[in-house]
Copies of this chain bind each other. A is one copy, B any other.
Amino acid sequence: MNKAKIDTVLMSHGSGGTLMKRLIEELFYEEYGSKPLLQGDDAADLSCEEMQQDPGSRLAFSTDTFVVTPHFFPGGDIGRLAICGTVNDVATSGAKVRYLSCGFVLEEGFLMDDLKRICHSMAQAAQEADVQIVTGDTKVVDRGHGDGIFINTSGVGLIPAGRRLGGALCQPGDKILLSGTIGDHGIAIISTREGLSFSTTIESDAAPLNHLISAVLEVAPQTRCFRDPTRGGLSSTLNELALQSNTVMTINEESVPVNDQVNGACEMLGYDVFQVANEGKIVCVVAAQEAEAALNAMRCSKYGENAAIIGEVTSVQAQDGGPKVYLATTFGSRRILDMLVGEQLPRIC
């Protein structure tokens, strides 16, 4: 096999043979070759001294596959999304995010230049999040049986001893915080996809939030949980939390930050902004007395300047008929915020 430039992904790139080896060494190792990855064994061998020095610490583990289309969009691409999405999922446990895996499913004919751009973007996002890509896998499917590129990332982090977070821990009296504007990612994707004219200024918010989460936990140890409102948007996330904790959550519409352009786009397209996906925002439920401190920590973080306290948790009353999420609207009325039924924006992440 000569070393001529190969412009597209070939079936042989997934064969386990020489071409795959070349792809791994010349692209993946070059872009994000951590020490465990360069070792080249079937499993990464990772030291966890921190964990042993902190008896009672635990492991956080999460996985996400990214199938977003288009692969490139204002504010990011599938590579940045794949790193940030899993970093954020692991970080919601309160863990220090340490290690990521990366599994590609490439379609025969995918442009090598696009793959390079995506890998470069992954490397940059990993560096920003201060995590290492330590193990990987590459599969190639024949033309017409994939969609260019799908990326799975799984992530491992260390949860300090004594730290327990989870949706089930939300309590009546707690405050609900949101780290910034909602709807940006979903609207950026759909406007790119449909070639809508307002697309030029709405950007995806895809971002790693692990540093923001750490900052909140430092000042608000009574944080109950974090959750990132991705698919299904803020509505679905809050409904999950209400169900897990058997509580009622009431959100003040006027406290929820939304970009004017995103609001306009949602009205035009008939979307409920509360159900539109976000990729760089976090919902945080925290004990009331720590809410201001948590809010300030968010606002001092790179991705939290528009953070707000958006609502509070109460107990389930007879008239609620069970765990529920209410929106107190700007008009003084109250409506139920439902979990997304059906499909609003397919393949958003």
Residues of A within 8 A of B (CB): 1, 10-12, 14-21, 39-48, 51-52, 55-67, 88-93, 95, 99, 101-105, 134-137, 139-142, 144-147, 150, 152, 154-157, 159, 164-168, 225, 227-228, 230-233, 236, 240, 244, 277, 339-344, 346-347
- 18 residue pairs bridging A and B, Cβ less than 8 Å apart: A1-B341, A10-B343, A12-B341, A12-B342, A16-B233, A17-B231, A17-B236, A39-B168, A43-B60, A43-B91, A43-B92, A44-B62, A45-B159, A52-B52, A63-B102, A101-B154, A141-B147, A144-B144
Q: Given that A145-B146, A152-B103 are contacting pairs, would A225 and B15 also be in contact in the complex, using a CB cutoff of 8 Å?
A: no
When distances are taken between beta carbons in the complex, the residues of chain B under 8 Å from A91 are 43
Do the beta carbons of A43 and B62 come within 8 Å of each other?
yes
The closest CB in chain B to the CB of A144 belongs to B144
Contact of A346 among B1, B46, B140, B244 (CB under 8 A): B140
Copy number in the complex reads 2
**Complex Cα distance A286/B221, Å?**
50
Chain B proximity of A214: nearest CB distance (Å): 15
Do the beta carbons of B343 and A15 come within 8 Å of each other?
yes
Do the beta carbons of A60 and B48 come within 8 Å of each other?
no
The closest CB in chain B to the CB of A138 belongs to B65
The closest CB in chain B to the CB of A228 belongs to B42
**Complex Cα distance A40/B225, Å?**
12
Do the beta carbons of B105 and A157 come within 8 Å of each other?
no
**Complex Cα distance A244/B227, Å?**
42
Q: Given that A42-B92, A146-B147, A343-B12 are contacting pairs, would A61 and B99 also be in contact in the complex, using a CB cutoff of 8 Å?
A: yes
**Complex Cα distance A21/B44, Å?**
33
Do the beta carbons of B137 and A64 come within 8 Å of each other?
yes
**Complex Cα distance A74/B267, Å?**
54
Q: Which of A42, A89, A165 neighbours the largest number of chain B CB atoms within 10 Å of its CB?
A: A42
